[in-house]
Structure 1
Amino acid sequence: MASLEVEEKPSEVKQNAIWGESKKMWAIAGPAILVSVSQFSIGFVTVAFAGHLGELELAAVTITTNVIEGFVFGIMLGMGSALETLCGQAVGAGQHNMLGIYLQRSWIITGITALCLTPCYLLATPILNLLRQDKAISELAGKYCKMVIPQFFAYAMNFPIQKFLQSQTKVWVMTIISIIGLGCHVLLNWALVTKLEFGLLGAAMAGNISWWLQVIAMVIYVVAGFFPDSWTGLSLLAFKSLWGFVKLSLASAVMLCLELWYFTAIILMVGYLKDPTLAVDSISICLNLQLWTSMVTLGFNIAASVRVSNELGAGRPKAAKFSIVVVVLTSLAVGVIFMAIILATKHDFPKLFTDKQLVIKAASKLGYFLAATIFLNSILPVLHRVAVGAGWQAYVGLINITCYYLLGIPVGALLGFKFKLRVQGIWFGMLIGTVLQTTILLFVMLRATWRKEAVQAEERLRTWGGPTETPNISLESNSAG
């Protein structure tokens, strides 16, 4: 139990404890970073190819990605995030037999969710017109949305598989599949968009094929006998306790939607400015880079969620708290590096997406805001994943509403429109909400009673996973914070 008593041990033992936790974290975070970067880069590559088609095409893909997909993506990811809490805690408690059941339950929920949200793609143009977006952008975005519907159903299959594999730290095959998928996507875009000149249709076709190749490969990996303890075939138990599963999923969906919709709101507000095509293009370049760097820190987010849920499921609350400290400090260090890179290249990074000088100049002016956002998002998403691992989704949702929607967006609108600071003012308001939320969540984490969270983890497993042996929580009861 050396790793749980670092305060009472000599400095070398403390260093060993940190090193031991770091190895566990990197075993999850390293492959997860590669998976996240590879899968996000599919959209990143699509935006880059679309940007070289023209300013209107770049704006249309950006609106699709950040407004329509931003809306449904948060709901879909949230409805699959109950799996992150339950699978992680089941692994910690040694209940591997429930993982396959949880995966099937999540597939049922995300599949139904995808069907319910499909009209958002079909009616994208009227929705964007209702939101008073530029008519030319809305029209082209609506056409593109219909082309990428197959990708949306691939998301419904992909999210639960990722949680299933990550909770067991079985991610290297998924990593290889994702990297190969990205390579295929680049080749497909080059062939369909550049060589055959299919335009946005070619970009959509490339994305649909790339996503479904990855999903099919991962499904085969899961069901092919590599997981004899956690996948025992299809079972009617997947339909048992669905409502409890849905309730935790809804809490996750609310938390994640409020986070993702914040960026959607920023894009919508920018679309109300004069010369919306230039404004949307410039901020889309920065947000795409910010989201790309977030995919790197997402690896640490996943590691935080898995480590916290594993330790709480095993009844080791102090180990969960120690894991948070190690993950947050590591992610923060990576965020500082990315921030420095952006500041050093603020006149050059827009050239990845466009060769239009007006767009390059407008995006360069946002370099300092982008660097600050990247720094803050090296901490905040990790805290969110800790909340998922502990099952605090509903509580974080309330914090999101207060910081983002009652403060950040109104301040951004005031600065952007009333004080005529345009995109810079809107983004500054967003940063204010992010700073406040980060501060509040850090305070909550420091004040949390982790022994109580371990008891609640046991209750979840008993409610949704059947009987389980009681973890030996008393081992840390005297020192758990």
Structure 2
Amino acid sequence: MADLSQPLLSQREENKPIDHSPESGRKDTKALFAPDADDIPPINTTRDFYREFCIELKKLWYLAAPAVFTSVCQYSFGAITQLFAGQVSTIALAAVSVENSVIAGFSFGIMLGMGSALETLCGQAYGAGQLDMMGVYMQRSWVILVISAVVLTPVYIFSAPLLKLIGQTEEISEAAGVLSIWMIPQLYAYALNFPISKFLQAQSKMMAMSVISAVALVFHTFFTWLFMLKLGWGLAGGAIVLNASWWVIDLAQIVYILSGSCGRAWSGFSWQAFHNLWGFVRLSLASAVMLCLEIWYFMALILFAGYLKNAEVSIDALSICTNILGWTVMVAFGINAAISVRVSNELGAAHPRTARFSLVVAVISSFVLGLILAAILIITKNDYPSLFSSDSAVREIVKSLTPMLGFCIVVNNIQPVLSGVAVGAGWQAFVAYVNVGCYYLFGIPLGLLMGFALHWGVLGIWSGMIGGTIIQTLILTWMVYRTNWNEEASVAEDRIRKWGGHSDSS
């Protein structure tokens, strides 16, 4: 095992990057960073557990609260556009649902996944005190994601024939195809946004992201109503506002970074961004495959619903449910971002026991929140469908799907937290194999069997596919339980040395 104590101790004392607190609860810099010891004291009694739980909970939510808020705001851009589309017409709602879930969802998965490599690299570099390389990492990710956006652009241009090829109806495919072409600017906004988000998250700059997203959401809601309904521009108006909202966020965040708010983490544009690109691409692809397999899995729900009888109603009902599920999962994604930062920072600083305990606190918090959100939804099942559609048939299907929706909320509030640990620890490649087996070899075949062969319709497709999510969650839980966190801290130091300034600056 590598000797972590000397280099990490000197860097840590100089930079002190992990004080995730209002008060921090305990002083991280007092610990001796030996591989088998860190700053969390032994937990022998219930009182010890409660004390440390409260301390870690404060640290976690100091990061998670603004991250949850930011995730909900940014997700709400597409969801609000979809909500207003439901007031325009049934075909407009179906077009926005398919474009968001299939075309934009496909690209979103790739782009966010490629950008997620920064969660591992920036988080562990920040924990180890190697702040200088974080800006270079972000710029490398920009280069890779802009090239990826160019490669993905034909998917938007030829989306109508692609949707027809996979069995969507003529009317839905044509409407979604036109909308997809209008949404090309959003693809390039993703290319800038995701690296910036990971760069800021690793430094716990969550509050700035929250403020920017909140202001953008207020304007997005007003102008979407104005253009889509008041001025009668329909889908064209929704596309204009949605593109503009994402670009406003990008520009505001870039201004924040260039203003000097990130200190040593941003030292200006550098040609080092073009060095060692292929190695960075490999790591980015591992992250992309892991995340894409998860996002595309739920995208497939909307796709399969298009093959059922009365496809428009089925797609509309299921898209409303997945829309709400997406909103609630944004809470888990906020905790995902926070736990990824906590785990990567603590492993980078050779605090394996603290990384493990952070995970326990995150899972418990997310599970309790999932139960609360599911309960609220079930209690209001007679009322909330009318917010999304004026069609009585759609509302009735949504009402019947609410119990399944509540169950999915609970399960999907735990799974992203475990995925966040995987990203923070750098396990993306292995988790990608897990996702293939659980989602595509088990969940989708079971969903198709229950939905079509057993004639259970939307509920059958969804039930089978949530089975795949449950299996994946159990496997991730087993992986985390079996993890040697001291060894992970050693791996983190090796990763920092490999990607750090020594090799690049020479």
TM range, smaller chain = over 0.9
CA contact (8 A) 1:6 1:17 kept: no
Structure 1 residue 13 displacement after superposition: 4.1
Aligned partner of 2:218 in structure 1 is: 183
Aligned partner of 1:65 in structure 2 is: 100
Matches within 5 A, 1:313-462: 313-462=348-497
What is the RMSD of the two structures over their aligned residues, measured on CA atoms?
1.2
CA contact (8 A) 2:356 2:485 kept: yes
Of 163, 167, 179, the residue aligned with 2:198 is 163
Matches within 5 A, 1:236-247: 236-247=271-282
What CA distance in whole angstroms lies between the structure 1 residues aligned with 2:206 and 2:463?
37
Pair 1:100 & 2:135 matched: yes
- Which residue identity does 2:189 align to in structure 1? A
What CA distance in whole angstroms lies between the structure 2 residues aligned with 1:307 and 1:467?
25
Deviations 1:32-64 (A, max 9, x none): 011101111111110000011011000010000
Q: Secondary structure at the match of 1:229?
A: helix
Of 32, 42, 49, the residue aligned with 1:6 is 42
Deviations 1:445-475 (A, max 9, x none): 000111111111111111111349xxxxxxx
Deviations 1:419-442 (A, max 9, x none): 110001000001111111111110
Q: Which consecutive residues of structure 1, in runs of 5 or more, have no partner in the other structure?
A: 469-481
Aligned partner of 2:155 in structure 1 is: 120
Structure 1 residue 11 displacement after superposition: 4.5
Q: Which consecutive residues of structure 2, in runs of 5 or more, have no partner in the other structure?
A: 1-30, 32-37
Aligned partner of 2:76 in structure 1 is: 41
- Which residue identity does 2:148 align to in structure 1? T
CA contact (8 A) 2:335 2:362 kept: yes
CA contact (8 A) 2:169 2:306 kept: yes
Aligned partner of 1:235 in structure 2 is: 270
Q: Secondary structure at the match of 2:167?
A: coil
- Which residue identity does 2:42 align to in structure 1? V
- Which residue identity does 1:28 align to in structure 2? L
What CA distance in whole angstroms lies between the structure 1 residues aligned with 2:90 and 2:335?
35
Structure 1 residue 27 displacement after superposition: 1.1
Deviations 1:106-132 (A, max 9, x none): 111111111110111101101101101
Matches within 5 A, 1:51-90: 51-90=86-125
What CA distance in whole angstroms lies between the structure 2 residues aligned with 1:171 and 1:431?
31
Deviations 1:96-153 (A, max 9, x none): 1111111111111111111110111101101101101111000000000011111111
What CA distance in whole angstroms lies between the structure 2 residues aligned with 1:171 and 1:261?
27
Runs in 1 of length 4+ with deviation above 6 angstroms? none
CA contact (8 A) 2:132 2:501 kept: no
Structure 1 residue 194 displacement after superposition: 1.5
Percent identity over the alignment? 49
Structure 1 residue 3 displacement after superposition: 5.3
Of 283, 288, 312, the residue aligned with 1:248 is 283
- Which residue identity does 1:120 align to in structure 2? V
- Which residue identity does 2:126 align to in structure 1? V
- Which residue identity does 1:48 align to in structure 2? L
- Which residue identity does 1:202 align to in structure 2? G
Q: Secondary structure at the match of 1:377?
A: helix
What CA distance in whole angstroms lies between the structure 2 residues aligned with 1:309 and 1:467?
20
Q: Secondary structure at the match of 1:133?
A: coil
Aligned partner of 2:260 in structure 1 is: 225
What CA distance in whole angstroms lies between the structure 1 residues aligned with 2:186 and 2:496?
33
What CA distance in whole angstroms lies between the structure 2 residues aligned with 1:266 and 1:97?
43
CA contact (8 A) 1:461 1:467 kept: no
What CA distance in whole angstroms lies between the structure 2 residues aligned with 1:71 and 1:54?
25
What CA distance in whole angstroms lies between the structure 1 residues aligned with 2:140 and 2:499?
11
Aligned partner of 1:196 in structure 2 is: 231
CA contact (8 A) 1:254 1:397 kept: yes
What CA distance in whole angstroms lies between the structure 2 residues aligned with 1:155 and 1:36?
14
Q: Secondary structure at the match of 1:234?
A: coil
What CA distance in whole angstroms lies between the structure 2 residues aligned with 1:331 and 1:117?
34
Aligned partner of 2:245 in structure 1 is: 210
What count of residue pairs does the alignment treat as equivalent? 467
Of 289, 297, 304, the residue aligned with 1:269 is 304
What CA distance in whole angstroms lies between the structure 2 residues aligned with 1:242 and 1:318?
33
Aligned partner of 1:471 in structure 2 is: none
What CA distance in whole angstroms lies between the structure 1 residues aligned with 2:99 and 2:39?
47
Pair 1:27 & 2:62 matched: yes
Q: Secondary structure at the match of 1:7?
A: coil
User: What TM-score, normalized to structure 2?
Assistant: 0.91
Deviations 1:229-274 (A, max 9, x none): 1111000111122122111110010001110111122211111111
User: What TM-score, normalized to structure 1?
Assistant: 0.95
What CA distance in whole angstroms lies between the structure 2 residues aligned with 1:258 and 1:397?
7
Structure 1 325/358 Cα, relative in aligned 2: closer, same or farther at 3 Å? same
